[in-house]
């Protein structure tokens, strides 16, 4: 039995022993009374009775333990031309002073603080400062529209808001302060104070009596000590979109979160303390919370905070420059970033301009990593390329190739096997287990491991209804896929993207996999649209690689033939459209649901997280041109 199999079995058969051992990597002010408190199912709690401080574990203990002069944080900003480094001692001191300034706003243990920041080091410092005080932070992606920000203010009711004068998206400077002021005006819950970081690119006008200058407040503050909290106390609230349009506040506790993330960086990502780990995401998303800020620092590694894009800042070689310059050992980003790079630099010429000799693994997550993109990355980089699967709610990976335990054989299209602590099963609509190879709903047997959400913010009933009611005894992931005979998990699509074509259940992800294999296709999306005869039929939207000179109609026709050859006539795939780009969220997820509603003539609203709203006009026009979108849209 290999190390992976041994770890997975132990976590399943003796979860309390397994996680008690993992918790030894964390310093506790008081040890727990029970590793797993199962007295109130389905509300399971980990390390009940234990007390700790997450900021202490991320910074202070490393300063005391010999890592004071090791680099903790690297800030790399091609959009401003700035690079800066902080040692663990320097970062601890900065965070302690910021915590003092936040405490000066009246914030204490249990209070909420909303953070509305761009990708600057102060954003990470703000999160850690809140954790230091025992306050609960809620990070909202910088640049979110005022109405969306207002709903989060009303739900969290923050005592203070930490923000900045502006963010920078590529070449665009986006003033944040007008958005923040408008959101506070709309919100019923008014914060007592705002701390505003003035950036050189655009300064903001401060409102007397409410707004304070960030740097002035920090300079005048006394450093704050760490405040111990219960392991089961919330560390943060992170809002994710809800089906009703009301965002869901995912809660993360302090104890289980620290234990799970420290374990994951060592055993999933294979990172050792002192090594450089880089996640190209944003602190506004769960990926940024877990793997830019908390996991690397909890584990004593060096983290990179990057304010830039995969392409355009300045070119498709941006990632390789950062990896070479900072000695990144393990890198984590979204598949959509690699598709953009592949589209701009299909032969990988920019990769070979940089020394990547210290780089040893690439991890992809955020949406399904299509096999052609994985194969391209493997060929170009010559390192393991690991697709792994997790969600905002889970906080860390559900399925992965755990490099720190044992590298398993890679299967393209699979996120490999369930991570120790996660019992993943495939269920049919009635909740019955399905056979290996059959597509169904992916669900996780309760209790969820440490680090997963214990509930939603002040919404226990909604937590139960949203995640636990569909399959009693299980957490419903809302993802669909299969587990093959080797136990490998294949996440195909969201459950609402399984389409029913004349009684045949098909995964749009499976069709996308075929389309992505066409040599001219950079990325694609498949939608299941309403059909009076067959119920639903799939259509494909294709974005071509840069430099493709062949007629779009020719490529589209070849794509249709490819699906018929590889999946068969049962797919009823007859329509492929070439478009310039696909609408995405700022984290890179393709807005398939919105496009499907447009094609079906249903009511739809502009997603708050969309990267560029103008793209939906282009998609609507393309659908209309093909006779698909109803004229009323």
Segment 466-510, tens digit of pLDDT: 999 999 999 999 999 999 999 999 998 776 666 767 556 577 877
Q: Quick count: other Cβ atoms within 10 Å of Cβ 166?
A: 23
Q: Residue 365 carries which DSSP code?
A: -
Q: Say whether 528 sits in a helix, a strand or coil.
A: strand
Reference 249, options 318, 167, 152; nearest CA is 152
Task: Report d(CA 596, CA 615) in Å as an integer.
Answer: 14
Element (H, E) at 511: helix 508-516
Question: Residue 42, preceding bond cis, omega within 30 degrees?
Answer: yes
Edge-to-edge order in the sheet of strand 474-483: 424-427, 440-445, 474-483, 489-494
Provide the 8-state DSSP code for 434: P
Residue-level pLDDT at 263? 98
CA distances from 617 to 530, 583, 614 (A): 20, 10, 5
Both tokens of 343, joined, read 């589209």
Rounded Cα–Cα distance for residues 504 and 163 (Å): 50
User: How many C-beta neighbours within 10 Å does residue 34 have?
Assistant: 14
Instruction: Kindly state the DSSP code that residue 231 receives in the 8-state scheme.
Output: T
Do 543 and 515 touch, CB atoms closer than 8 A? no
Question: What pLDDT shows up at residue 497?
Answer: 63
For the chain, what's the residue count? 633
Query: What integer pLDDT is reported at residue 594 of this predicted model?
Result: 86
CA angle 34, 445, 33 (to 5 degrees): 5
pLDDT value of residue 509: 78
Please state the pTM of the whole predicted model: 0.85
Q: pLDDT under 50 in the chain at which residues? A: 631-633
Domains of the chain: 3-308+388-481 (3.40.50.12780), 502-625 (3.30.300.30)
The CA dihedral of 230, 21, 256, 295, to the nearest 10 degrees, is: 120
d(CA 33, CA 423): 25
Using a 10 angstrom Cβ sphere, with 0-12 exposed, 13-18 middle and 19 or more buried, the burial of residue 542 is buried
Antiparallel, parallel or unpaired: β 498-501 and 489-494: unpaired
Of 291, 357, 286, the residue nearest 320 (C-alpha): 357
**Which residues, 6 or more positions from 14, have their beta carbon under 8 angstroms from its beta carbon?**
none
Contacts of 98 (CB under 8 A, 6+ apart): 122, 125, 126, 129, 218, 221
Is there a contact between 296 and 265 (Cβ–Cβ < 8 Å)?
A: yes
Please name the helix (run of DSSP H) or strand (run of DSSP E) that holds residue 328, with its range, or none: strand 328-333
Residues in a beta bridge with 219 = none
Distance between CA 340 and CA 442 in Å, rounded? Answer: 29
Query: What is the Cα Rg of the chain in Å?
Result: 24
What's the pLDDT at 585? 80
Tell me the H-state helices in 114-231.
121-133, 146-156, 177-186, 214-220
> Tokens 């005592």 identify what position?
159
Angstrom distance (rounded) from CA 473 to CA 469 = 9
Position 495 scores a pLDDT of 64
């Amino acid at each position: 039995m290999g190390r992976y199999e041994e770890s997975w079995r132990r976590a399943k058969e003796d979860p309390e022993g397994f996680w008690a051992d993992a918790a030894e990597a964390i310093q506790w002010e008081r040890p727990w009374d029970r590793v797993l408190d199962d007295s109130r199912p389905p509300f399971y709690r980990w390390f009940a009775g234990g007390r700790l401080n997450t900021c202490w574990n991320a910074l202070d203990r490393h300063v005391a333990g010999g890592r004071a002069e090791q680099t903790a944080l690297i800030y790399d900003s091609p959009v401003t031309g700035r690079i800066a480094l902080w040692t663990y001692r320097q970062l601890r001191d900065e965070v302690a002073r910021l915590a003092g300034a936040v405490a000066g706003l009246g914030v204490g243990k249990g209070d909420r603080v909303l953070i509305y920041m761009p990708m600057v080091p102060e954003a990470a410092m703000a999160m850690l400062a809140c954790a230091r005080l025992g306050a609960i932070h809620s990070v909202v992606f910088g640049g979110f529209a005022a109405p969306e920000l207002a709903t989060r203010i009303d739900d969290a009711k923050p005592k203070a808001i930490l923000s900045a004068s502006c963010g920078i998206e590529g070449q665009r400077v986006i003033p944040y302060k007008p958005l923040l002021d408008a959101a506070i005006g709309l919100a019923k819950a008014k914060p007592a104070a705002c701390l505003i970081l003035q950036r050189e690119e655009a300064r903001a006008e401060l409102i007397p009596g409410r707004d304070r200058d960030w740097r002035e407040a920090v300079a005048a503050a006394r450093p704050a000590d760490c405040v111990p909290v219960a392991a089961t106390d919330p560390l943060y609230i992170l809002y994710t979109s809800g089906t009703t349009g009301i965002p869901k506040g995912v809660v993360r506790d302090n104890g289980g979160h620290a234990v799970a993330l420290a374990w994951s960086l060592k055993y999933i990502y294979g990172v050792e303390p002192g090594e450089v780990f880089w996640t190209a995401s944003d602190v506004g998303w769960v990926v940024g919370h877990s793997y830019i800020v908390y996991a690397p620092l909890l584990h004593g590694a060096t983290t990179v905070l990057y304010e830039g894009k995969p392409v355009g800042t300045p070119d498709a070689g941006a990632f390789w420059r950062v990896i070479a310059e900072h000695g990144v050992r393990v890198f984590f980003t979204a598949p959509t970033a690699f598709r953009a790079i592949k589209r701009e630099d299909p032969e990988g010429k920019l990769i070979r301009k940089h020394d990547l000799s210290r780089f040893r693994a690439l991890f992809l997550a955020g949406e399904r990593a299509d096999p052609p993109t994985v194969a391209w990355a493997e060929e170009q980089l010559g390192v393991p390329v690991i697709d792994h699967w997790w969600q905002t709610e889970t906080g860390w990976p559900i399925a992965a190739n755990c490099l720190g335990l044992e590298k398993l054989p890679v299967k393209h299209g699979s996120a490999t096997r369930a991570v120790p602590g996660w019992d993943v099963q495939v269920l049919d609509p009635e909740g019955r287990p399905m056979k290996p190879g059959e597509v169904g709903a992916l669900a996780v047997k309760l209790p969820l491991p440490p680090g997963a959400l214990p509930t939603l913010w002040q919404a226990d009933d909604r937590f139960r209804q949203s995640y636990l009611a569909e399959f009693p005894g299980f957490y419903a992931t809302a993802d669909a896929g299969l587990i093959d005979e080797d136990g490998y998990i294949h996440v195909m699509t969201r459950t609402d993207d399984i389409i029913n074509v004349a009684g045949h259940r098909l995964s749009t992800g499976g069709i996308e996999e075929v389309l992505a294999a066409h040599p001219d296709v950079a990325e694609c999306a498949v939608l299941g649209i309403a059909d009076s005869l067959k119920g639903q039929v799939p259509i494909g939207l294709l974005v071509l690689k840069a430099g493709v000179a062949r007629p779009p109609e020719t490529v589209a026709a070849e794509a249709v033939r490819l699906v018929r050859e590889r999946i068969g006539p049962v797919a009823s795939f007859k329509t492929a459209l070439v478009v310039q780009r696909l609408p995405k969220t700022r984290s890179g997820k393709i807005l398939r649901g919105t496009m499907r509603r447009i094609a079906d003539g249903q009511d739809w609203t502009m997603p708050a997280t969309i990267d560029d709203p103008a793209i939906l006009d282009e998609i609507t026009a393309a659908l209309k041109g093909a006779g698909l979108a109803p004229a009323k849209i």
